[in-house]
């Protein structure tokens, strides 16, 4: 009897080991905490004031998640990701009523045919263009974003109800496409999304393009189809400037069409890049108002030593449309120095200066660096952050 029990126990251990070898679940995360100084912040109806504040995600949004696979054989796997963004300052979710507010998807992945996934996912601007811009990377991030993150390169919102395909790597070429359903009977186009893009790596050259389209029938935030493709943000890109906090700009227009392209070139310890993006909003708030944003970003990174990385960017952005004169343009200079204690832990200091011209009383008429609490009371604003980042 004892011999049978021992034999049975050994068999169970062996089977458990086989199952573990075929399946994997990884717990991962990133914590980004900093102290930020910003000048000229509007406080109520008064003039601008300096602000010292603790920040979460000054470079990369703090997050934790689960990532897993099951090997089905013949190069086919089941894959899933569940990822939560949170505010380190108070421990709250970075968007309301969503546990896995950054990503939540499951699908199939094949070495030969690529991956097909379903759930809440990133669009092609994030997948293919953002890695070529400092705002979309660990070398710049939130404060380096283009005004109001109008092109979503800082991943301020994700796409619900989405089906996404990512191709395998064909000699450096990858392509992808996504469709986010409105999930509303009789209103197929009311808050839907579609996106596609590609990237190509050839030696030291890295090129990417992306497109994102949104459409909606909402005239006010209260009329927004809250079961649709885009319903809230995990970032703070809008902060109530043109829409209430948590409502992306594009879903309050009858359509948003965003195109972007970028290129990086690596030479020795340096990487230089250029990114262009264009966002067109049609019938904002379902009125006759339409507008555009254009962004031109030049950036560079330099590995001074294996532990020290320097980066900087200059971005010129301009708005246009039929809403009358006085539409602004922006100039922004951003710089960052990063020191790695280890592969997982680093400290950084970064700063961004922005000037909006012409100045005015509207949210678009004053400077407003992405991710800071409030806009400037003038056409200029500067922020500086010292932060600690840990990955696990």
Using pLDDT thresholds of 50, 70 and 90, give the confidence band for residue 359. low
Average pLDDT for 291-300 = 95
Residue 382 belongs to a domain:
yes
> What pLDDT does 222 receive?
72
pLDDT tens per residue, range 347-357 = 999 999 999 98
What percent of the chain is predicted at pLDDT more than 90? 67
Count of domains for the chain = 1
Coil, strand or helix: which one is 64? strand
Evaluate if residue 257 carries a pLDDT over 70: yes
- What does pLDDT average to over the chain? 87
Which carries the bigger pLDDT value, residue 232 or residue 69? 69
pLDDT value at 1 more than 70: no
Q: Residue 7 falls within a domain, yes or no?
A: no
Token digits of residue 247: 């409502």
DSSP state for residue 182 in the 8-state scheme:
-
Q: 3-class DSSP state for residue 195? A: strand
Q: Give pLDDT tens digits for 20-47.
A: 447 999 999 999 999 999 998 987 666 7
Instruction: Identify whether 162 is part of a domain.
Output: yes
Do the domain assignments include residue 386?
yes
User: pLDDT per residue over 299-357, tens digit each?
Assistant: 999 999 999 999 999 999 998 876 555 678 999 999 999 999 999 999 999 999 999 98
Measure the CA–CA gap between 299 and 141, rounded to whole angstroms: 13
Give the tens place of pLDDT for each residue, 95-115. Answer: 767 889 999 999 999 999 999
How far apart CA 77 and CA 64 sit, in angstroms, is 23
pLDDT at 164: 98
User: How far apart, in whole angstroms, are the C-alpha atoms of residue 335 and residue 312?
Assistant: 4
DSSP one-letter string for 275-342:
EEEEEEEEEETTSS--EEEEEEEEEEEEESSSSEEEEEEEEEEEEEESS-S---EEEEEEEEEEEESS
pLDDT of 12 > 70? The answer is no
* Tens-digit pLDDT profile for residues 132-176: 999 989 999 999 999 989 999 999 899 999 999 999 999 999 999
The answer to whether position 11 is within a domain reads no
CATH code at position 217: 2.40.160.10
- 346-349-94 Cα angle (round to 5): 75
Strands 23-42 and 380-391, bridge-based pairing:
antiparallel
- CB-based contact 276:283 (threshold 8 Å): no
pTM value is 0.88
For residue 377, is it within any domain? yes
2 within some domain? no
Residue 193, both tokens: 């999304």
Looking at residue 366, what is its pLDDT?
A: 84
Q: What is the extent of the structural domain holding 209?
A: 24-391
DSSP state, residue 146: P
| CA 137 from centre of chain | 9
């Amino acid at each position: 009897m004892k011999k049978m029990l021992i034999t049975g126990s050994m068999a169970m251990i062996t089977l458990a080991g086989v199952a573990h070898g075929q399946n994997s679940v990884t717990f991962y995360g990133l914590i980004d905490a900093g102290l930020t100084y910003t000048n000229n912040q509007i406080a109520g109806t008064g003039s601008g004031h300096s602000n010292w504040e603790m920040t979460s995600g000054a470079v990369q949004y703090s997050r934790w998640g689960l990532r897993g696979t099951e090997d089905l054989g013949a190069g086919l796997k089941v894959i899933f990701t569940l990822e939560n963004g949170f505010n380190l300052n108070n421990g709250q979710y970075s968007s309301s009523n969503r546990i896995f507010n950054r990503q939540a998807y499951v699908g199939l992945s094949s070495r030969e045919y690529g991956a097909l996934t379903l759930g809440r996912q990133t669009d092609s601007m994030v997948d293919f263009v953002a890695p070529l811009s400092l705002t979309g990377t660990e070398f710049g991030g939130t404060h380096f974003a283009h005004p109001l993150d109008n092109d979503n390169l800082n991943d301020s919102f994700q796409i619900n109800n989405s089906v996404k395909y990512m191709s395998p790597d064909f000699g450096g070429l990858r392509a992808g496409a996504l469709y986010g359903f409105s999930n509303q009977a009789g209103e197929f186009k009311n808050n839907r999304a579609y996106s596609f893009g590609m990237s190509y790596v050839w030696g030291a050259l890295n090129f990417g393009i992306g497109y994102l389209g949104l459409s909606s029938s909402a005239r006010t935030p209260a009329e927004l189809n809250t079961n649709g493709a885009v319903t809230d943000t995990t970032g703070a890109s809008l902060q109530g400037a043109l829409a209430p906090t948590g409502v992306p700009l594009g879903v309050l227009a009858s359509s948003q069409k965003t195109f972007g392209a970028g290129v990086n070139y690596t030479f020795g310890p340096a990487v230089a890049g250029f990114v262009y993006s264009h966002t067109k909003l049609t019938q904002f708030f379902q009125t006759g108002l339409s507008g555009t944003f254009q962004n031109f970003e030049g950036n560079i990174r330099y590995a001074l030593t294996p532990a020290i990385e320097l980066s900087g960017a200059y971005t010129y952005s301009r708005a246009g449309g039929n809403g009358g004169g006085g539409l602004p343009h922006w100039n922004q200079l951003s710089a960052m120095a990063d020191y790695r204690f280890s592969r997982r832990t680093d400290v950084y200091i970064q700063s961004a200066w922005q000037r909006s011209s012409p100045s005015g009383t509207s949210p678009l008429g004053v400077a407003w660096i992405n991710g800071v609490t409030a806009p400037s009371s003038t056409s200029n604003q500067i922020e500086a952050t010292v932060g600690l980042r840990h990955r696990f």
